[in-house]
Amino acid sequence: MKAGSTALADYELLELLLFRAIARRDVKPLAKTLLAEFGDFNRVISAPASRLCRIDGVGEAVIQELKIVEAAAHRLGQARVMGKNALTSWSSLLEYCKISMAHRETEQFRILFLDRKNILIADEEQARGTVDHVPVYPREVAKRALELNASALILVHNHPSGDPTPSEADIAMTERVNVALNVLGIVLHDHVIIGQETDASFRSMGLL
């Protein structure tokens, strides 16, 4: 409480969480097992329940505790960017997306809806998919933008492989969405692909 979270190593912070779920037991070995299996604190709390439950000593109480922390982290990150100008707070926006999506084991497609002043008014998950594909329907994207009275969008999805390089399917899908939005006078600012260490911006790459 005095030194703050940065004073704790990943395994120590994880120990504190595990102790809340498994009282009166030395949880350091389990904390280190989870970190060895998944890599770091963020990957542990982001890991799917189906994989967590395979670890000896991880039960429903542990999974619930980890998922509560994951949800809280997501809400905190979202609060820092919601209602802010998405273009002038770009680094914070990307950091939020990375925290939410970088370590997922399947693809997730999110849409950030902006108003006329590029203020972020909504952040919604549009679809989830497999390890290398997520279905995206331009008509549904455009329909939701109209429902929210959005003037611009930013598309975001992750590549579980860790490599954010756009695939041919990513490029083709983005072009279809852009065409659908242009008809309605809605701007597609960017499509960002989140990798584990880096990200790729269609705008920066000249693909938009």
- Boundaries of domain holding 62: 10-75
Same domain, yes or no: 135 and 71: no
Name residue 188's beta-bridge partners: 153
Q: Give the DSSP H or E segment for 112.
A: strand 108-114
Whether residue 207 is contained in a domain is answered as no
Tokens of 10: 């990943």
DSSP summary character for residue 105: S
Starting at the edge strand found earlier in the chain, the sheet holding 152-158 runs 120-128, 108-114, 152-158, 187-194, 199-201
Q: Give this prediction's pTM.
A: 0.77
Same domain, yes or no: 60 and 105: no
Query: Can you say whether the dihedral through the CA atoms of 59, 65, 69, 70 is positive or negative?
Result: positive
Highest mean pLDDT among 49-53, 94-98, 184-188: 184-188
Query: pLDDT band for position 35 (50/70/90)?
Result: very high
pLDDT of residue 201: 93
SS3 29: helix
Whether residue 181 is contained in a domain is answered as yes
**Residue 21 φ/ψ, nearest 5 degrees:** -90, -30
Query: Domain boundary residue among 50, 75, 100?
Result: 75
Query: CA 98 to CA 79: how far, in whole Å?
Result: 15
